[in-house]
Every structure is written in C-alpha cells, then in structure tokens.
C-alpha cells in the first residue's frame, strides 16, 4: 500500500457547494477536511502534468497515462483507499457516530450508544426495525459529527466501543486566517467598486508540527509519485508538498484484527464503520441492502442482517469537469463516521471482517477514496448494565 503526506505550503481552503461570485456574495464558505475526490483529482492532475500534458490525456494518446489515470470517459488503475487528517502521532480518524458526546469541564468525552431491542416498535417505525441506539448518559449531549480521535486511541477505544476520555475537534489542528480582497479591472488594474470579498483561509497550527500535519493519502493501486514534489489542491490551486510515507496496513494490526474477529464471533453482532464518506443509492442504506429481508448482500455470497444504523447528515459531492469546463453533477454522500449495526453468525465473523476490510462500501466513486470502512465490536445493553 502506497502512502503519501500532503502538507500545505501556506494557507489553504476548500470551497463548498454554495455559489460564490464577487459582487454578488461578499463571503465564500468552505469545509474541512476535503472530499476524497478533491484529493484524487489533484493527484491525478499532478501526474498528468508531470509525465505528459492534458491534450494527450483528453485524447488518450499516452499509454502510461491512460493506464493509470484513464481518460475523461474511463477510469484508470489509479485508486485511493482513504484520505485522513494526519499529525505527529499518525492518522486522525472520525469519531464513529454511535457515540454520545458529553462535555465535562474543558473537554468532551465519548460514551457508546447502547443497542436495545424494542419489539413493539418494529411494527410502526419508519425503518421497520425493532432495534434502537440509545444514550447511556442522561445528560446534555454535543454532536458526534466532525469529531476526531488519533488512530492509536481509535484502535484501542472506538474499535471496541469503549468509553473515550477526550475527543478533539478540527480547531485543534486548524486556525482560521480569513482573506479579504477586492477585484481589479484587468486593463486599468484599478479596484472594481462593490467587488469586496472574503475567503475562509486556514493553516495548520504550528504547535502541531508543520513537518507532520497534513493529509494522509492511502492508495490501493498507484503509480509512483516520488518524482512529484508539489500538488495544487483546493481553492485558488494552492501548492502542497507531496512526501512518500511508509505504511503497510490500512489501520489494524494482525493481532487487533484477530481480536475483533474473536469478539464479533462471541457476540454475533458487529459494527461496520465508515472512515471516509460513501455514496449510497438508497440514501442511508447502500444498494446491497434488501428491504424485504433487511439484509446486506456482501461479496462472497455473505449476507448479514442490518439491525440499525447511526448515519449523519448527507454531504454534497461535486467537482469540476476540466474537459467540459463545467461543474460535475452533484451527489449526496453519507459522512465518515456513519455506522451500520449488523447481526452475523459466529462462523461468519472472520469472513465479515476480511470482506469489509478489503472492499469499498460505496455504490459510486470507490476509486476516489469513498466507502473506506472497517469493522468494530458492539457494546450491548447487558454489558453496560
């Protein structure tokens, strides 16, 4: 598995889907982290620019570029597995959404939501299921969306549905640095009246360590980017350093994966946790979901019963079509951190874990890094008392 670290040279921002035109809207809006497809497109463009040109790419003349980056009509072999925030301690992962976040003094803590069966609700609930996820703490809660954990704590706590003592927000790594400007006439170079604008620029906090803080890109299939030092990424095409990293596995060690399998086998229940956004044709359920049987039909003829889900608000996925010089059609995606809770036979635990860890749980754009998922252990009401 090839891995790369993208580090901004200066400030950066990532535009959202809302319209912004100088003179009409005074302030642009953005989001962080960027969508995986944004990073995929930036790396794709950097490779084409380094080893060829966009004319040959559009026409498919260069065989090596066509092999890896495809053509405007077809996807090449280049495939991203995941895009995550990264700091000096390693990858930074989204908090699973089956956690209750409670603020205590100056920090936020995470308590697992408890799976509870309520047979009477299966008859009138909109999703037709008898299972619900309930908070374990009778206290005011904060949103579990846009919350993060370092990967070591994620593997130790979030993967096994344990209490989390401290949760971080993006502000821990980011500081805002708004940019104010005004449009100028191209001929006279004078400022245009009424064309003041503001962009939500960001930079990584210096205390986090500039050499380690950035975006981690994990690739399933990839050419070497070792000769490419810079990538233009985000609004205004800001330059980012591109550095190869050593990383052999996606997330879990072999021992951790075996521990997961053992606990899932004993409980006969599991969590499927998205670590990047996913595009699901059924909205909050993937296309492999059978509404009649309430089962997920997974590769290898594996079927598991979907009990319930913790899914966040949808994200807008867009982009720019360089050849047609127009926006790409917009899609909706479920956010990273979303969780599917499934019932699995004990003898199928090994197959479930290895299947989820080897596939992309998305109905579209899997090659761009959407649908990266892992399995996790589930805490039941009986275990929590």
Residues with Cβ within 8 Å of residue 23, at least 6 apart in sequence: 183, 192, 194, 195
Cβ pair 369, 36 in contact under 8 A: yes
Residue 54: CB atoms within 10 Å: 14
pLDDT at 309: 95
DSSP per position, 341-382: EEE--GGGHHHHHHHHHHS---SS-GGGTTT-EEEE---BHH
Cβ pair 100, 136 in contact under 8 A: yes
pLDDT at 153: 96
Q: Minimal CA–CA distance to 335: which of 293, 370, 303?
A: 370
Interval 338-370: pLDDT, tens? 999 999 999 999 999 999 999 999 999 999 999
DSSP alpha helices (H): ranges in the chain? 36-51, 54-59, 63-69, 151-156, 254-267, 349-358, 381-384
pLDDT at 20: 61
> How far apart are the C-alpha atoms of 182 and 192, rounded to whole Å?
7
Angle at 142 between CA 141 and CA 143, to 5 degrees: 125
> How far apart are the C-alpha atoms of 379 and 316, rounded to whole Å?
32
For residue 70, cis peptide bond before it (omega within 30 degrees of 0): no
> How far apart are the C-alpha atoms of 258 and 281, rounded to whole Å?
32
Residue 170: CB atoms within 10 Å: 15
DSSP alpha helices (H): ranges in 52-164? 54-59, 63-69, 151-156
List phi, psi (to 5°) of 264.
-65, -40
* Termini Cα distance of the chain: 42
pLDDT at 182: 75
Question: What are 75's two structure tokens?
Answer: 């996807």
Cβ pair 279, 332 in contact under 8 A: yes
Interval 136-153: pLDDT, tens? 888 889 999 999 999 999
Give the total residue count for the chain: 385
Residues with Cβ within 8 Å of residue 358, at least 6 apart in sequence: none
Please report where in the chains the tokens 């498919």 appear, as a residue. 60
Ordered mean pLDDT values, 10 residues apiece, the chain (385 residues)? 94 77 64 93 95 88 93 93 95 97 91 88 71 89 94 96 95 88 75 73 77 93 94 91 93 95 96 98 94 94 96 89 80 96 96 97 96 93 60
């Amino acid at each position: 598995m090839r891995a790369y670290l993208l580090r901004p040279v200066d400030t950066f921002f990532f535009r959202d889907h809302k319209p912004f035109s100088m003179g009409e809207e005074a302030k642009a809006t953005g989001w962080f982290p960027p969508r995986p497809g944004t990073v995929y497109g930036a790396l794709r463009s950097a490779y084409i620019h380094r080893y060829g040109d966009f004319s040959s790419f559009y026409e498919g003349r260069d065989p090596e570029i066509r092999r890896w980056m495809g053509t405007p009509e077809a996807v090449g072999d280049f495939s991203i597995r995941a895009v995550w925030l990264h700091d000096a301690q390693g990858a930074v992962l989204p908090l699973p959404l089956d956690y209750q976040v409670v603020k205590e003094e100056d920090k936020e803590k995470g308590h697992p939501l408890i799976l509870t069966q309520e047979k009477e609700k299966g008859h009138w609930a909109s999703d037709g299921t008898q299972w619900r996820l309930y908070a374990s703490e009778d206290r005011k809660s904060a949103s579990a969306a846009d919350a993060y954990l370092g990967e070591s704590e994620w593997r130790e706590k979030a993967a096994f549905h344990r209490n989390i003592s401290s949760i971080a927000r993006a502000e821990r790594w980011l500081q805002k640095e708004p940019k104010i400007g005004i449009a100028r006439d191209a001929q006279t170079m004078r400022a245009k009246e009424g064309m003041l604008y503001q962009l939500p620029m960001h930079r990584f906090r210096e205390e986090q360590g500039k050499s380690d803080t950035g975006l981690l890109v994990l690739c399933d299939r990839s050419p070497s980017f070792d000769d490419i030092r810079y990538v233009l990424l985000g609004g205004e095409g800001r330059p980012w350093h591109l550095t190869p990293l050593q990383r052999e596995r996606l997330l879990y060690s072999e021992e951790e994966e075996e521990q997961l399998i053992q606990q899932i086998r004993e409980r006969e229940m599991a969590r499927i946790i998205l670590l990047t956004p996913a595009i699901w044709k059924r909205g909050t359920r993937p296309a492999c979901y059978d509404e009649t049987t309430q089962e997920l039909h997974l590769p290898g003829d594996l079927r598991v019963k979907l009990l319930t889900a913790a899914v966040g608000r949808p994200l807008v996925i867009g982009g720019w079509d360089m050849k047609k010089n127009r926006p790409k059609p917009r899609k909706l995606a479920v956010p990273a951190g979303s969780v599917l809770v499934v019932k699995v036979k004990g003898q199928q635990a090994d197959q479930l874990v290895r299947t989820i860890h080897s596939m992309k749980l998305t109905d579209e754009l899997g090659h761009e890094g959407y649908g990266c998922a892992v399995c996790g252990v589930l805490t039941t009401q009986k275990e929590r008392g």
